[in-house]
Amino acid sequence: DVSPVVAGLIGATVLVVSISVTVFVWTCCHQQAEKKHKTPPYKFIHMLKGISIYPETLNNKKKINRIRRDKNSAPKEPGRGNLLVDAAESGLIGSNKAPDGPSAAPQVDQLPIKVDYGDELSPDQSLTPGGSKTSSLSSPGDDVLLGELTFSVDYNFPKKALVVTIQEAHGLPVMDEHTQSSDPYIKMTILPDKRHRVKTRVLRKTLDPVFDETFTFYGIPYSQLQDLVLHFLVLSFDRFSRDDVIGEVMVPLAGVDPSTGKVQLTREILKRNIQKCISRGELQVSLSYQPVAQRMTVVVLKARHLPKMDITGLSDPYVKVNVYYGRKRIAKKKTHVKKCTLNPVFNESFIYDIPVDLLPDISIEFLVIDFDRTTKNEVVGRLILGAHSITAAGVEHWREVCENPRKPVAKWHSLSEY
């Protein structure tokens, strides 16, 4: 015989276990149902010469490699040291291209520069910023013809979809002196929201590429077309450094009416005006140089008015500091990640031993990056100080640092998009 107390305890235990198991099973089923019915933030179809590619279902690595075989055809050669140019992250380009071939590798001379970092920790994940290879400091001159871009715009009323077909380009300039050709591809963004960012495949060694790629963007009402602008950025792929920017094409849809059918357009490719890049917030940095110790101290102070990068309306920013000698990166370091803020305060310093005679060829690049655990980190904005500064404020800041040794010079700078 079992006493009533023991029987009650056994019954209560069985009841608690049954409820717990039921709740656990229901939670698992609910999560699975949410995953099946979850829709991407925006949906588009990519048509590559009759082949439909759905980005939200691209889980097959072989399929990705087959479509992007041109971009991943050159494996990175290990064991070359920190002075090798990183094709995915180097911020300054040179006019000399490395020869093609599996054994080709950039030749970088050893420099008498030592780097001494503070006791700062890097972010948990390695840097994989989206669109970090989208710019270059050099652009073709005003007197150089940059060619023409041909594309078409259509609208699918039943599906509320904007259809953009990038067809071909003609008369592109030579960006690779070694092959006397270019490796062009195109990045397209729908402004002003910048939610839809796509790019074509790379076509090798041609100045008249035929892309024939169609991008279909769903969820865009026809009434909003007049407020949108198509931005095409024409680039030339570079295996060993940042891709060369050939030019850009801006097409306001206010003057395009695809209601009656596909509209064929041809636009001249224009030189990209860096000064017109939309501000991405501001960054405050301090520099000081000790001529006796031949040491440069870089302090990342804080940022403000950064754009919203997360669904919550905030961002998780950190700053990556790249140091270049000429056009070769020689050092890199990251600050801590500041969670859920658009006005982060970093206050982190990095020290570099730089001889005085090398100062005229030194550039310091600051990349403000939004950290994301689930997707690729995205570059928020960019600032360059030193030999390759592209703004008047950056040139003035570097001049003050060189003319006032041992004095910390702190200034605010607007971040550029590229």
> Taking the domains of the chain in order of start, what are their residue ranges?
147-271, 281-415
Which of the pair, 95 or 288, is modelled with greater confidence?
A: 288
Give the tokens for residue 147: 């060619």
Query: Is it true that domain 281-415 has CATH number 2.60.40.150?
Result: yes
User: Where is average pLDDT lowest: 15-24, 45-54, 105-114?
Assistant: 105-114
89-96: average pLDDT: 37
Strands (E), 273-397: 282-290, 295-304, 317-325, 328-334, 345-353, 362-370, 378-386
pLDDT level of residue 164 (50, 70, 90 thresholds): very high
* Per-residue model confidence (pLDDT) at position 144: 59
Strand positions, DSSP E, 171-294: 184-191, 197-199, 210-218, 229-236, 244-252, 263-268, 282-290
- The percentage of the chain sitting over the pLDDT mark of 70, rounded to a whole number, equals 70
Distance CA 108, CA 152 (A): 44
Residue 244: the pLDDT is 82
pLDDT in tens, 46-84: 555 444 444 433 333 333 333 343 444 444 343 333 333
Give the tokens for residue 328.
Answer: 């070769």
- List all residues 6 or more positions away from 7 whose beta carbon is below 8 Å from its beta carbon: none
What pLDDT digit, counting tens, does each position of 335-359 carry? 999 998 989 999 999 999 888 888 8
Give domain 147-271's CATH architecture: Sandwich (2.60)
Residue with tokens 């041992």: 406
What pLDDT sits at residue 344? Answer: 93
**With 90 as the cut, is the pLDDT of residue 410 above it?**
yes
pTM for the model: 0.43
Q: What gap in Å lies between CA 352 and CA 287, rounded to an integer?
A: 11
- Fold match flag (147-271 vs 281-415): yes
Checking if the pLDDT of 215 tops 80, the result is yes
Contacts of 394 (CB under 8 A, 6+ apart): 383, 384, 385, 386, 413
**Alpha-carbon distances of 172 from 3, 124, 148, 158, 230, rounded to whole Å:** 92, 42, 8, 37, 20
Distance, in Å, from the CA atom of 276 to the CA atom of 231, rounded to the nearest integer, reads: 13
* Least confident among 56-60, 222-226, 266-270: 56-60
d(CA 11, CA 157): 62
Range in 134-148, 212-226, 290-304 the model is least confident about: 134-148
Average pLDDT in the chain: 74
Q: Is 131 exposed, middle or buried (0-12, 13-18, 19+ CB in 10 A)?
A: middle
The per-residue pLDDT for 209 is 93
Q: 39 falls in which pLDDT band (50, 70, 90)? A: very low
